[in-house]
Amino acid sequence: MSFIKLTDRQEKIIDIVKEGQPITGEDIAGKLDLTRATLRPDLSILTMIGVLEARPKVGYFYSGKQMEDDFSEKIKELKISEIKSVPVVVSEETTVYDAIVNMFLENVGSIYVVSEGGILVGVVSRKDFLKNTIGGLDINKIPVGMIMTRMPNIVTVFPEENLLDAAVKIIDHEIDSVPVVEEVQQEEIKQYRVIGKISKTTIARAFVELFKNI
């Protein structure tokens, strides 16, 4: 199954290039009754992902490269352990005010709440802070543990999962990041230690790097 869904116009461009290669951008635009400027983003995407090749003063060629399969494989091979970033964590006793300051200083969308040993016990987001601040809480006195989402109601990922696994979880649960955890056993209780995070920014950066290397 292809990972990237091309638009109808992009599919038509590929067919035109296959039939008339080498062919200039002006000629492709003429066949589609469009301006060269209108077509430029589509041609850029198709060359960037490797479906078309552009040669100066010659035109466009169809590369025949199965980019979508290659890209899917690269995503599956890219493990969370390779791209995770450093999480911002606080304790349950941290005041809401201090947690908000921490969040903005670190420029993150969520903060993870941990107990001794880095064990994940909760998560708090910008929305949580906004909702409780508007609600009139004394943010200088209320601990973050009072407003956080608690385990086990937190979506997590493991280091051995891949980029696509993390992206799907973030989209499905409509969150801005997921903590990367490792399982630890304490007194016959399964717990999870926070060792990183994957955010929308992390994923976007990884996708850009993958595209550059195609």
In order of their start, the domains of the chain are 8-67 (1.10.10.10), 80-210 (3.10.580.10)
Q: Are 28 and 17 in contact (CB under 8 A)?
A: yes
Tokens of 170: 């973030």
Q: Are 12 and 32 in contact (CB under 8 A)?
A: yes
Closest of 118, 196, 116 to residue 157, by C-alpha: 196
Whole-angstrom CA distances from 200 to 62, 83, 153, 197 are 33, 12, 20, 10
Tokens of 113: 């709440």
Q: Is 150 helix (H, G, I), strand (E, B) or coil?
A: strand
> Of 27-31, 37-41, 157-161, 177-181, which range is least confident?
37-41
- The mean pLDDT of the chain is 88
Residues of the chain above pLDDT 90, percent: 58
Tell me the pLDDT band of 72, cut-offs 50, 70 and 90: low
Compute the average pLDDT of residues 71-89: 87
DSSP code at position 94: S
Tell me the pLDDT band of 28, cut-offs 50, 70 and 90: very high
pLDDT at residue 128 tops 70: yes
Q: pTM score, two decimals?
A: 0.66
Q: Are 96 and 131 in contact (CB under 8 A)?
A: no
pLDDT of res. 87: 96
Q: How many CA atoms lie within 13 A of 191 on its CB side?
A: 19
pLDDT of res. 49: 73
Cα gap 155→152, rounded to integer Å:
8
